[in-house]
Structures are given as C-alpha cells and as structure tokens.
Structure 1
Amino acid sequence: MRRKKHLKLQEEVELDVTSFMNLMVVLIPFLLATAVFSQVTIQELNVPSPGVGGATPDKPLVTIEVMVRKESIEISNGKVITNRFPKEEGEYDLEALTGVLLNLKEQYPDKEDATVLLEPDIEYNDMIAVMDTVKFHDVASEDGEDQSQVLFPEISIGDAP
C-alpha cells in the first residue's frame, strides 16, 4: 500500500520586532548621550642624542631641569636647585617659571633642550602645562596678535629624584 504523505499547510509566521524596535529607540539616544567625544593630541618629545666625543665645547654646558613636585615647581642646574615656586591656591605658578626660563634663554640663547622631571601622581594636565611653558612663551605683539617665542623646544621627561 501506498501511503500518502500529508502535507501540512504551514502558516507563515510573521516576526514580531516590536520589542526589538522599542529597545533600539531607547538604546540609541542613551548611547549617543553618554558617548565621549574626545580629541587626541600628541605631545612631541625629542630624546637627547648621545654627545659626540673628542670635541670640547666653547661654552660650558648648562643643564636645565624643571622638577614638578606635588607642592611646587623647582628649577635646577643639574646639581643645585636654583629656584622654587610653591603651589598657590592649588595651581602651579607658571608665570614665575616663564620669567626664570626667559632669563635662562637670554643667558644661553643657543640652548635648545631642557629636562622635565615629574614626581609620581602628577596630573596629566599639569605635566602638559609645564611642558608647554618650557617650550614656548606667548607674547602679545603691537598689532594685538599673540606670537610664540620659542624657549626650549627639545624636552626630555623623567622621574624626579
């Protein structure tokens, strides 16, 4: 005997996407509202190259070290701390630092490098502000436009002693 296969008629089932659409309606504005839009900037650092032996410099080499501590900024010549600027109202005194760096640039106009030494747990924004202060000094010109005077553009960073 021959059996007949009964084909069952299957109803077409519609996919219910209402709950998924409700989720998207809530999720997309939430993600857009909480997204962090950031701008990435790069601070260029130059690693000091090793000195070439054999030649003696005409002028004695000077070392400029700017040490950023939790409570102050100190300027050193590599051996002795020459200037110290304590934090005032939780802010570093970058104007006083600029004044000393301008004097050093006048004394050593050919000097291009400086070292910024940081204590642990110094905030990133403070580090960048000090590095910008060591690199450049903004000067207002006679026509009202700001111009930058280059101080010590070749910066090395390290840990403060």
Structure 2
Amino acid sequence: MVETPELNITTFLNLMVVLIPFLLISAVFSRVVILELSVPTSAGGAASNTPNFAIEVIVRKAGFEIANGTSVEAAIPKKNDEYDMKMLSEMLIRLKAQYPDKEDATVLMEPDIEYNYLIQVMDAVRGTEIKAEEAVYGEDDEDDKEIQRIVLFPDISIGDAP
C-alpha cells in the first residue's frame, strides 16, 4: 500500500501574503474625467425676438470652418498638413469679445477625422491660454508675462459635419 504525500502549501501562502499587498500598493489607479456635452435642440420653440446666432466649428480634412449657424464666416486651412489650433483659438477669442454672454458652441466633424483632433478642438473651444497684457515687474519683456487661462465657450455640443 502506497501512501500519498501531503501537499504543503505553507510556502505558497507566505508568498501570497507578501505579494498581494505589494501589488495593491504599487498599482496605478487611473482617474476618469467626464465632460458633459449638450445635444443641439431645434429652434422651433424659441422666442421670435431671440437672435439666431450659433457658433459652429466645423472640422474638415482641409482645415477648420467657423460658421454662424447658417453660413460659413471664416475658413482656417491646414498648415504643413496640421490643423492650425493657434489660429482657431485667436478666432474664438475674437468671437468671445463680440459675444461675451455666449456660452455654447457646436463642434461638427467629418467622418474620417481622428478622435484626437476632436479632443484638441473641444479643448480650444472651451478655453485657451493667453499672455497677460501687463508684465509681472512692469517691464515689457515677453518672457516675464504671466499666462492666464480664459474660458471661451464651455457648453459644447458635438455632431457630424454637413
């Protein structure tokens, strides 16, 4: 009659007691950021005296178009096969200066454009960084100017480009 040996798992359990807390402590916990978007609504129920002005940033393969809801106001072509985010920010700053109470904008994308560009455009529409007009120490040196974050159009709707 052959006796079966006992299974000794003590060493394995000791390893698990040390390994599990180490793995939990060293794990990187990611933070998920959620950006609330609004869905464009039809203007059928709006009052007739309300101006029908909408800021639309249309992302096309050839570049950006900024429209007012009915017609294209400005076109920003690509530079060196890259979207000109700086020019887009400058145009949006001008629009914000003209319409300071306007809080919403729509980003419209053509189908075959990378998702990364959608995020970059949404960041540019929500806000931008500009250098302060006055230098920190009263000097007029470009390096001494503070960078300020300004909010442009925080309420963003997204959709497909026409």
SS of match in other structure, 1:75: strand
Number of the residue aligned with 1:133: 124
2:73 is aligned with 1:82: yes
Aligned to 1:155: 156
Say whether 1:103 aligns with 2:103.
no
1:11 is displaced (CA, Å) by 5.2
Q: Which residue is 2:35 aligned to?
A: 43
Q: In structure 2, what is the equivalent of residue 114 of structure 1?
A: 105
C-alpha separation in 2, matches of 1:81 and 1:51: 19
Structure with a larger share of its residues in strand? 2
Look up the equivalent residue of 2:159 and give its one-letter code: G
> When the two structures are aligned, how many residues end up with a matched partner?
136
Q: Distance in 2 between matches of 1:83 and 1:55?
A: 28
CA–CA distance in structure 1, aligned partners of residues 46 and 38 of structure 2 = 24
What is the TM-score of this pair, normalised by structure 1? 0.69
Task: Determine the C-alpha separation between the residues in 1 that align with 2:76 and 2:32.
Answer: 31
* TM-score normalized by the length of structure 2: 0.69
Paired amino acid for 2:60: R
Which residue number in structure 2 is paired with residue 12 of structure 1?
5
Secondary structure class of the residue paired with 1:68: strand
Tell me, in whole angstroms, the C-alpha distance in 2 between the residues paired with 1:77 and 1:55.
Answer: 18
Gaps of 5+ in 2: 9-28, 137-144
What is the Cα-based RMSD across aligned positions, in Å? Answer: 3.0
Quote the sequence identity (%): 50
Q: Which amino acid aligns with 1:149?
A: I
